[in-house]
Chains A and B, each alone.
Chain A
């Protein structure tokens, strides 16, 4: 789960991290009043989207009056922001954040993430704040500092002392920085983050340290113990289809192609996308019904794929272990009888009760092409869209 900048900042504030004075604005809220309430001569209006790259695409604008703020916000809200991370269509801006523009002496980069190799939380820091960290990592990798944080101890003071000298900031800032990092680590752990990124972390003229931007990703596996994040769920869905998939607990990702896929198991689903591409086709989606999906889920999955106008043919690839092939076959027949299908359907079933399943499909009277293995399945479905 990804949080908007303003949502992340509200949480940081609760943990004692300094954030610029600001207000999140959505439709029907008074933007010019917000500018006045912030009480600063210069503010920044920031589009709230879950992808990066907004700065380069006009998603961050400076304003110096209530009228200018109102106009700026009006032009942003409801419009689509296209960045190098959003895809061609872009993302609709439903919130903006109006904040005081701080007088910044130095910009740092600070993030906490999970290092999968060392199996520990990792603090990533750089004196090159305010820039795309991936660019810094590519051009000047020596400017990225990585410090493992012990999951039980948290950050040690000696680690922060070492860091301040590596970041070329004054030793007097060490204590402030240490408290900040300790607070960020608490945010990370108590909210089950997978990523907490502050870029830039700004040192002001008065040697205060502010989180000027904040990106917070939450471990989806931990959502069950964070009911306070349920309110953020609706913002996660890139499309109504993804919202529907989430409702039926299906793993679904929309892609650009025209061959719909329905598979049980994430690895097999990825491999199915791969083999379609190998045969010259383009997958329209990734869809994993799970190793033990119910007939109801199979039916909903099928309907979701059918509702995608891009899809010109469908491939169903099921290896039934616990999942019985005849149950799948019945689920598919039921779905077709309910919603109808006007595009070619290729089904490859293998595993438990496969022979019974094949009989069910053959006797259905429906135009279904069955394939005996993945190669045949991919080849057949691709031939049907070419």
Chain B
């Protein structure tokens, strides 16, 4: 099952004929994702990787029944792409694009606030329900179907954590990258709530980093509403103040947004923190054993 996407999800790719869109469309199709349409203005009526291309999202949705969009459109045009998809009534937009101006994202969030569309990203690797549907750029082979929900602000750090889990026989229900920008769609709190309500998910990992207060806000929700075990890792304990560490949202401003404050808030909410990035998998295994969810002899999660 997992959250938000499953084996029946029908995906359309905005920017399918661009370099990144084309490459990743092939990878998604290889994984078994039902990628049923592409959208590139001006290329409607053509085929790309055996997928029909449309001039706009509404046409693509009407003709193919696509219900989720993945956006590989460059930053200057990505805002328009997100709004177009929301306007067409798509359920979920997964925006991979990095480099969208912050004020544009503020406008986008306001625009979609009264629409039925959910947004993941931008500047994210995407979302994958292993064995069922991969939407984004993550390497499919490191994932394994299972019962741990993963939500993260990172890309490759998420792969590191997922790989540590898979190698221990611990599978994932859904892995969701919320993105590295200061203004994003679905955040930790919303993702954790979705995992809490998902029958398939038995435990969660959240991978945060410096900047902003999303982890602290999640801590409040975890305390009030989350009963499933949560493991956390926060990157950037050693980051200096005032410098943007790669991600647009990874910056400690005026002393706010430090790893220390996030770790503190999460620990107080009952989250088990992995101190080292190399120990994320082991920490999860330990928590699962303690809660009786890990079958020690088989080293796989009980169903």
Residues of A within 8 A of B (CB): 85, 114, 116-117, 119-121, 134, 137, 151-152, 189, 192, 194, 219-222, 224-225, 251, 253, 255, 263-278, 283, 286, 288, 291-292, 319-322, 350-352, 373-375, 378
A270→B106 contact, CB < 8 A: no
User: Considering the chains assembled together, what is the distance between the CA atoms of A288 and B217 in angstroms?
Assistant: 28
A114→B137 contact, CB < 8 A: no
Chain B contacts for A273, CB-based, 8 A = 236, 238-239
A321→B138 contact, CB < 8 A: yes
Closest chain B CB from A153 CB (angstroms): 11
Chain B contacts for A373, CB-based, 8 A = 278
With contacts A271-B235, A274-B236 taken as known, whether A266 is within 8 angstroms of B246 at the C-beta atoms is yes
Closest chain B CB from A14 CB (angstroms): 19
B110→A152 contact, CB < 8 A: yes
User: Considering the chains assembled together, what is the distance between the CA atoms of A78 and B247 in angstroms?
Assistant: 34
B245→A321 contact, CB < 8 A: no
If A271-B157, A351-B139, A374-B277 are given as contacts, then 15 extra A-B residue pairs at C-beta distance below 8 Å, sorted by A number, are A137-B254, A152-B110, A219-B103, A220-B248, A221-B100, A224-B76, A253-B243, A265-B157, A266-B247, A267-B157, A272-B277, A275-B278, A291-B137, A321-B142, A322-B137
User: How many inter-chain contacts with C-beta < 8 Å in the A-B complex?
Assistant: 176
Interface flag for B71 (CB, 8 Å): no
* Interface hit among B28-36, B148-156, B190-198, B284-292: B148-156
Chain A contacts for B237, CB-based, 8 A = 274, 277
With contacts A288-B246, A321-B159, A373-B278 taken as known, whether A134 is within 8 angstroms of B182 at the C-beta atoms is no
Chain B contacts for A121, CB-based, 8 A = 103, 106
B107→A151 contact, CB < 8 A: yes
User: Considering the chains assembled together, what is the distance between the CA atoms of A221 and B99 in angstroms?
Assistant: 5
Top 10 nearest A-B pairs by Cβ distance? A266-B246, A267-B154, A265-B156, A267-B157, A271-B277, A375-B278, A222-B101, A321-B139, A270-B235, A288-B246
Closest chain A CB from B81 CB (angstroms): 16
B277→A274 contact, CB < 8 A: yes
Interface flag for B15 (CB, 8 Å): no
Chain B contacts for A292, CB-based, 8 A = 20
A192→B239 contact, CB < 8 A: no
Chain A contacts for B110, CB-based, 8 A = 151-152
Q: Which of A152, A278, A291 makes the CB contact (< 8 A) with B107?
A: A152
Max chain B CB contacts within 10 Å: which of A119, A265, A271, A277? A271
Closest chain B CB from A356 CB (angstroms): 15
B210→A114 contact, CB < 8 A: no
Interface flag for B240 (CB, 8 Å): yes
Which applies to chain A's interface (DSSP): helix, strand, loop or mixed?
A: mixed
A271→B246 contact, CB < 8 A: no
User: Considering the chains assembled together, what is the distance between the CA atoms of A292 and B96 in angstroms?
Assistant: 13
Residue of A nearest to B137 (CB): A322
Q: How many residues of B contact A (CB 8 A)?
A: 62
Residue of B nearest to A264 (CB): B156
Closest chain A CB from B149 CB (angstroms): 18
Q: Which of A116, A137, A221, A270 makes the CB contact (< 8 A) with B246?
A: A270
User: Considering the chains assembled together, what is the distance between the CA atoms of A269 and B246 in angstroms?
Assistant: 9
> 19 A-B pairs, CB-CB below 8 angstroms?
A120-B106, A151-B106, A151-B107, A221-B75, A264-B156, A266-B180, A266-B246, A267-B158, A267-B246, A268-B155, A268-B277, A271-B157, A271-B160, A286-B239, A286-B243, A319-B156, A373-B278, A374-B278, A375-B276
Interface flag for B250 (CB, 8 Å): yes
User: Considering the chains assembled together, what is the distance between the CA atoms of A374 and B107 in angstroms?
Assistant: 40
Residues of B within 8 A of A (CB): 20, 23, 75-76, 99-103, 105-107, 109-110, 125, 137-139, 142, 152-160, 163, 180, 182-183, 207, 209-210, 212-214, 217, 233, 235-240, 242-250, 254-255, 275-279
Residue of A nearest to B101 (CB): A222
Q: Which of B102, B138, B255 makes the CB contact (< 8 A) with A219?
A: B102
With contacts A221-B248, A267-B209, A270-B210 taken as known, whether A291 is within 8 angstroms of B106 at the C-beta atoms is no
With contacts A120-B106, A194-B102 taken as known, whether A134 is within 8 angstroms of B76 at the C-beta atoms is no
Closest chain A CB from B98 CB (angstroms): 8
With contacts A221-B101, A224-B75, A255-B240 taken as known, whether A268 is within 8 angstroms of B157 at the C-beta atoms is yes
A225→B209 contact, CB < 8 A: no
User: Considering the chains assembled together, what is the distance between the CA atoms of A273 and B154 in angstroms?
Assistant: 15
B106→A114 contact, CB < 8 A: yes
Residue of B nearest to A273 (CB): B238
A114→B183 contact, CB < 8 A: yes
Residue of A nearest to B153 (CB): A267
Chain B contacts for A277, CB-based, 8 A = 237-238
Chain A contacts for B153, CB-based, 8 A = 267
A274→B142 contact, CB < 8 A: no
With contacts A265-B156, A274-B235 taken as known, whether A350 is within 8 angstroms of B163 at the C-beta atoms is yes
Chain A contacts for B183, CB-based, 8 A = 114, 116, 119
With contacts A286-B245, A350-B160 taken as known, whether A322 is within 8 angstroms of B180 at the C-beta atoms is no
Chain B contacts for A266, CB-based, 8 A = 154-155, 180, 209, 245-247, 250
User: Considering the chains assembled together, what is the distance between the CA atoms of A85 and B255 in angstroms?
Assistant: 12
Residue of A nearest to B163 (CB): A350
B160→A253 contact, CB < 8 A: no
A117→B245 contact, CB < 8 A: no
